[in-house]
Amino acid sequence: MKSIFFHLMPYRDLPEDFESKYESIWVTPPNSELCDPRKVAQYYQWNLDELELADRLGFDGVGVNEHHQNGYGFMASPNLMAASLARRTPNNSAIMVLGNTLALYAPATRVAEEFAMLDVLSNGRLAAGFPVGTSMDVNFCYGVPPTQTRPRYREAEELIIQAWTRPGPFTFNGKYNQLRYVNPWPQPLQKPHPPVWLAGGGSVETWELAGKKDYTYSYLSFFGAKFGKKLMDGFWAKMDEMGVDRNPYRAGFAQQICVSETDERAEKEYLEHVTYFFKKCLHIPPYFFEAPGYRTRKSTEFAIKTNQPGDIAAAAALEKNWKTLNEEGFIIGGSPATVADRLIEAAKTLRVGNLHALLQIGSMPHELTKKNITLFAEEVMPRIRHIWDAEGWTHNWWPSGAANRAVTEAPAGAQA
């Protein structure tokens, strides 16, 4: 299994009374009141240092993503962060931009251009994430009408792939992108184009796109494998239905992870920061999650049928103590052995070959984050790296310029 250190880049010093005083962590948290640019200057240094450390310690990839007006992730442009990482990751980790929210960019050739730049700059290490994006980002922050979210996304995906693969200049006559001359300089280094990684919260259309176009799909939630099972079962059922193989590298999942020397120490060191995350960083009112029209009719019906709103409400209502958070799978915390065992179980349950390891959580300070990253790289990664080897699948979606550590058999961390 590939391990990607995925950084959300949260605000680490939200006020004590944040969740009672403010409406939401996303869309409306007042910037001049809550977001101190001097603090952010320090966070950005820490965040990049942490990602660079992960590269040195032998993670397979380093991951960044895009959110807007969001206190748990104000990486409005992940491409800026990825550009910095491309120059400072000598151990050749994959640069996983998961991803650019396609519907926000018209013309979407902007994404084709920036991703191509990153791919060239990193010598073919880019994994190009194409998320649909959340309703918060797309509809509320960027003003895209909810009913245009998917049509814009699909058209952008089409345009970007053409921009990367068709000899230019050519004409693209879309509904939202009308371009007489599509001819980006350069096209990407990876051929035919960088691997496309879809990311989402479980919409049926996204699975169909993954199956049809042979893209990977990563299920990104903060509620762990237990809640994710229904969704990933749905994904694999869709692959079966479409006649697509069960290669686990087609799929990924995000998991919050806390590693320490012992289970007891993990609780002592991390609980405060995990609580901060679940209380403050997930403080989002339900009406921002899904502007009417954001989901298609089909996905809305699927969500109702699988009781997604009920599950999320149930998850949100749970008491966030260490025991519950671990039992429910929201976090995987403990000694390296505990963490590895539970990750293997989660990965097998969901049948996923890519782990987006969330190792900086909420208010977690820089030093503790480095410890978490280091213990994970040195003690956990070697135990989970080969869990799919026996099935003999090839990872067809790994950037061709990135180091393929899974096949070297070298113990992780040895390169540090």
Partner 1 sequence: MTTTAPSSNVTERLVQVGQIQARVLVAGTGDPVLFIHGAGGLWWDPFLDALAEGHTVYAVEHPGGGESDALTHLPGIWELVLFYDELLDALELDTVQVVGHSFGGMVAAELASNSPRRVTKLVLIAPIGFWRDDAPIPDIAGIPPETLPGLVLADPDSPLAAMLIPPADDPQALFEAAMRMASVLHFIWPIPEKGLSRRIHRLSAPTLLIWGAQDKLVDPVYAEEFTSRLRDSRLELIEGAGHLPQLESPDVVRGHVLDFLS
Among 9, 14, 27, 51, binds partner 1 (CB under 8 A): 27
**Applying CB under 8 A, which part among 6-14, 231-239, 269-277, 285-293 lies near partner 1?**
285-293
Can you read off the two tokens belonging to residue 37? 């640019």
**Applying CB under 8 A, which part among 12-20, 145-153, 236-244, 401-409 lies near partner 1?**
145-153
- Count of residues in contact with partner 1, rule CB under 8 A: 20
Closer Cβ to partner 1, 313 or 414, answer by number: 313
Handedness of CA 110, 113, 115, 121 (dihedral sign): negative
Closer Cβ to partner 1, 314 or 414, answer by number: 314
Among 301, 327, 345, 391, binds partner 1 (CB under 8 A): 301
Most distant pair of Cα atoms in the chain: their distance? 62
- Asked if residue 20 binds partner 1 (CB under 8 A), the reply is no
- Asked if residue 207 binds partner 1 (CB under 8 A), the reply is no
Q: How far is the CB of 395 from partner 1 (least distance, A)?
A: 38
Q: How far is the CB of 150 from partner 1 (least distance, A)?
A: 11
Q: How far is the CB of 104 from partner 1 (least distance, A)?
A: 13
Q: How far is the CB of 304 from partner 1 (least distance, A)?
A: 4
- Asked if residue 139 binds partner 1 (CB under 8 A), the reply is yes
Among 291, 346, 352, 361, binds partner 1 (CB under 8 A): 291
Distance CA 252, CA 398 (A): 12
Residue found by looking up tokens 């992940």 in the block = 78
- Asked if residue 304 binds partner 1 (CB under 8 A), the reply is yes
- Asked if residue 327 binds partner 1 (CB under 8 A), the reply is no
**Applying CB under 8 A, which part among 54-62, 68-76, 143-151, 162-170 lies near partner 1?**
143-151
**Spatial contact of 98 and 131, defined as CB atoms under 8 Å apart:** yes
- Beta-carbon count within 10 A of 118 CB: 23
- Asked if residue 298 binds partner 1 (CB under 8 A), the reply is no
**Spatial contact of 269 and 390, defined as CB atoms under 8 Å apart:** no
- Asked if residue 174 binds partner 1 (CB under 8 A), the reply is no
- Asked if residue 316 binds partner 1 (CB under 8 A), the reply is no
Residue found by looking up tokens 């902007």 in the block = 110
Among 162, 226, 271, 293, binds partner 1 (CB under 8 A): 293
Among 32, 38, 173, 175, binds partner 1 (CB under 8 A): 175
3-state helix, strand, coil split of the chain in percent (to 5) is: 50, 15, 40
- Beta-carbon count within 10 A of 304 CB: 11
Q: How far is the CB of 383 from partner 1 (least distance, A)?
A: 42
Q: Where are the alpha helices (DSSP H) in 297-379?
A: 297-305, 308-317, 322-327, 336-350, 366-375
Among 37, 143, 167, 243, binds partner 1 (CB under 8 A): 143
Closer Cβ to partner 1, 70 or 255, answer by number: 70
Q: Which of 276, 260, 284, 283 is nearest to 361 (CA)?
A: 276
Residues engaged in binding partner 1 (CB under 8 A): 27, 139-140, 143-147, 175, 285, 287-288, 290-293, 297, 300-301, 304
